[in-house]
Structure 1
Amino acid sequence: MVGPDETFNGTFAYAPHFTDAAGLRMHYVDEGPRDGQVVLCLHGEPTWSYLFRNLIDALRGSYRVVVPDHMGFGKSATPADRSYWLQDHVDNLERFVLGLDLREISLLVHDFGGPVGMGLAARHPERIRRVISTNGPTPFGQPRLAERLTANAQASPWFQWILKAEAEGRLEAVLGELGFNILSTLKLNGFERHALISDNWLQAYAAPFATPAECLGAIGWAKGFATGSHQFEVPDAAARRAIQSRPALAIWGMADRTLQAEHFLPLFSELFAQAPVYKLEGVGHYCLEDAPGTVAAHVAAFLQQT
């Protein structure tokens, strides 16, 4: 866990906020006017709210930008007595959102934040105003979800790696050293903007995983996929109709090797048939790092137009 006041030499200089609503000490960023429209940003594996720092800066003048760290990531606690499956993170997010009473949410997701956020949308569609995918899957009861996940896993180096490591009994050992191999993990997923790499940047992404005990979140998301332990939230008909009626936007780095566009953009378009999709050539899985200005411009324009 990163220290509550750690800013990584000013690159993440946001006041820390904490809540125990989910039964653990959960950190979140809360920037912008309290009465502004809420933009809820959800990170994935193996990142944390640091991923959204450029977007926070771009939006906080007009919007209330709320960015939680999931259990086991960033400045949030990594309890040893909890499980880290997808459904656990959906439960935590639901308690977080209800605890802060967030409404009219523009849901912005990346990576595993996609299924976590869509789980919230299935349970509380009335609280969702917009959906924005930034290289984040949007599973919402689509009939071909399992087929798409399998096809992607067969083509993705990261998923092949974790499946092999789990089969050989090495997954915990490999991901338990994430603090040391964070750069190779980010690169494996598709990180293209090499000029961004600095000591501060590396420390920010490695610090949450300083010991094997602090890697339970990262291990859980990988192991849940490898063992089939994740349970995707399935919306009822009313929730599906409600969410399909919301404005939506997809921004996808086409050099993403972990969540490949050919498998996941159709998942988005099946749900939001009329929604705009921006395909960013030469941009990898971490589009918020590779093309922060472009992503922020598309998001800001979409929020203003809808």
Structure 2
Amino acid sequence: MTIQIPRISHGYVDVAGVRVFYRETGPEDGIPLLLLHGVPTASHQFSRLMDALGSRYRLIAPDYPGFGHTETPDDFVYSFDRLADVMEGFVTAKGLDRFVMYLFDFGGPIGLRLATRHPEWIAGLIVQNANAYEEGLSGLALDTIAAPADALDGMFTLPVTRSQYESGTTRPELIAPDGWTLDQHFLDLPGRKDAQRALALDYKNNVALYPQWQAWLREHRPPTLIIWGRGDAFFTEPGARAYLRDLPDAELHVFDTGHFALEENLPEIAPLIAEFLERQTRMKVAIIGATGNLGSAVAREAAARGHHVTPLGSNDVDVTDLASITDAVAGHDAVIVSVKGPEQLVPRGARALLEALPVAGVNRLVFLGGGGSLESEPGKRFVDSPDFPAQYLETALDQTEALRIFRGSASPVEWSYASPPPVHLVPGDKTGSYLAEARDTPLTDEAGDSRITTGDYAAAIVDTLETGSFIRERFTAAAVS
């Protein structure tokens, strides 16, 4: 019998004078899961989840300033903005450029700040009793938010800490006392109650940001798993269901438990998380044109993120032939195409892909097109300029025709058409400093330049695939200052 028990390591990262404690487990490959804890707890709340999933997935759980083992300087000013600043620095220091976030309680306002600052980081969300809608605030929550400072001290006592674990549960005997006991130990450390009081008084600023976070969810539509304990005294079930207005494709599971849903329902919740992570981190991707410069860069980036990549060259598939495409890509979750050639190969390939992929059972396509069809100003495409380089004209016109075909198609394929900067797609590694938007004009930096490295462009392509962004849209990507 083989029993897999993950090793959990513990360490500190210095972020601008804050010594951030964290727990980490799991293999290095694939997309990490960043676990953002709630109040009054810390990263130890995820210990059993890390034991359950750490042999298959990389899980990282930091303690915020004012929580757990993290150490802060005496002059640290506690607010949710500052906690997000420190977590942003932690993520950067750990070299995490793409991850799924687990948002629980305070993890919601901290994580959603990170998401709006760095949408390119977010591969998906797991939302567990982390509120972002006014209808999810109970009367108790509203009273707490409105309470003056001198009325908050009673919140930081052992009976209240314990009640946050046991309230709303179905089987309180399943709730170990270790959690609230350790939480109270940290709450009783010097300065910790002052930190919690400051954060409670700052919570109203989270509510003011709800519309901004909801707009971000609507725009980016990250893959999302919602888990909720309906007996939560602070964040009610309507708050869970409100997410579906902005994330209609999200998966929702409500349990008959309280605020700390993992404490009572880990056996039911852990498999849901594993299945969700598997969908985000282990796609089967066929890359047509994987032997070319861009295709190979995309293949390397996708493989580095843990996806199962099938590289396909011209000897493996005829991109203009329906039967050849169907045979080559059947059984995959998505197809990425980067091709060029004579005799209108690109537009003929676009037509064939739109017809063949539904037959093959593949509904997702990212097509690497050209930048020549971008517009220097409304109605004026770069490819139509008399100064457009003659040696690239045929390919640029073919790619422009392919875009017209995609936009006019009634195919059920969820395609995205990628355009690099019209001139400066330059060799280079991934820097992580890039932006992608659905638009017909190039993205430019503060100096007015539009450029991107092949490494960053490949990352933007895989980002689009993972997040399900730019469905039936042309998008472009470029470096940001």
Using structure 1 for the length normalisation, give the TM-score: 0.79
Structure-2 residue corresponding to 1:7: none
What is the distance in 1 between the residues matched to 2:192 and 2:218?
40
1:179-220 superposed Cα distances (whole Å, 9 cap, x missing partner): 5742134445x4554214555344322221123512233223
Distance in 2, matches of 1:279 and 1:298, equals 12
Identity, % of aligned positions: 29
Is the Cα contact below 8 Å between 2:32 and 2:100 reproduced in 1? yes
Question: What is the match of residue 209 of structure 2?
Answer: 232
* 1:85-234 mapped onto 2 (5 Å cutoff): 85-137=79-131, 139=132, 145=133, 148=134, 152-153=136-137, 155-161=138-144, 163-164=146-147, 166=148, 169-171=150-152, 173-175=153-155, 177-178=156-157, 181-187=160-166, 190-191=168-169, 193-198=171-176, 200-211=178-189, 213-225=191-203, 228=205, 232=209, 234=212
Aligned length: 273
Q: Which residue of 2 aligns with 1:52?
A: 46
Q: Which amino acid aligns with 1:263?
A: G
| Residue 102 of structure 1, CA deviation | 0.5
Per the alignment, in what secondary structure is the counterpart of residue 232 of structure 1?
helix
- In structure 2, do the counterparts of structure 1 residues 97 and 193 end up closer, same or farther at CA, with 3 Å as the change threshold? farther
Q: 1:43 to 1:193 in 2, by over 3 A?
A: farther
Q: Which runs of 5+ in 1 are unaligned?
A: 1-12, 140-144
Residue pair 2:165, 2:175 contacting (<8 A) in 1 also: no
Greater strand share, structure number = 2
What CA distance in whole angstroms lies between the structure 2 residues aligned with 1:21 and 1:214?
A: 19
Q: Which residue of 1 aligns with 2:254?
A: 279
Relative distance call for 1:81 and 1:269 in structure 2 (3 A) is same
- Is contact 1:89-1:116 (8 Å) kept? yes
SS in 1 for 2:23: strand
Contact kept? 2:218, 2:247, Cα under 8 Å: no
Contact conserved, 1:39 with 1:108, CA < 8 A, in 2? yes
**1:124-177 CA distance string (max 9 Å, x none):** 11111111101112x4xxxxx5xx1xx554x3335424634x27x232x334x4
Quick one: higher RCO (CA 8 Å, sep 6+), 1 or 2? 1
Residue matched to 2:76: 82
- Which 5+ residue runs of structure 2 have no aligned equivalent? 1-6, 281-481
CA distance change for structure 1 residues 65 and 132 in 2, over 3 Å: closer, same or farther?
A: same
Per mean C-alpha deviation after superposition, the further-off stretch among 59-68 and 208-217 is 208-217
Maintained 8 Å contact 2:24/2:58: yes
Structure 1 residue 55 displacement after superposition: 1.3
Deviation by residue 1:33-88 (Cα, 9 ceiling, x = unmatched): 12342000101111111111121112211111000111111111244322221111
Change (3 A) 1:27 1:232: farther
Structure 2 letter corresponding to 1:232: L
Task: Compute the displacement of 1:262 (Å).
Answer: 1.0
Larger Rg: 2
SS of residue matched to 2:249: coil
SS, match of residue 64 in structure 2? coil
1:259 pairs, out of 229, 235, 246, with 235
Q: Tell me the residue number matched to 1:243.
A: 220
What residue number does 1:42 align with?
36
Alpha-carbon offset, residue 265 of structure 1: 2.7
Q: 1:191 to 1:86 in 2, by over 3 A?
A: farther
Distance in 2 between residues matched to 1:59 and 1:293, nearest whole Å: 11
- Cα 1:259–1:82 change in 2 (3 A) is same
1:251–1:278: 8 Å Cα contact kept in structure 2? yes
Which of 235, 245, 266 in structure 2 is aligned with 1:292? 266
Tell me how far 1:103 sits from its aligned partner.
Answer: 2.3
Shift of 1:117: 0.6
**CA-to-partner distance for each residue in 1:92-131, whole Å, 9 max, x for gaps?**
1111111111022011110110111111111111111111
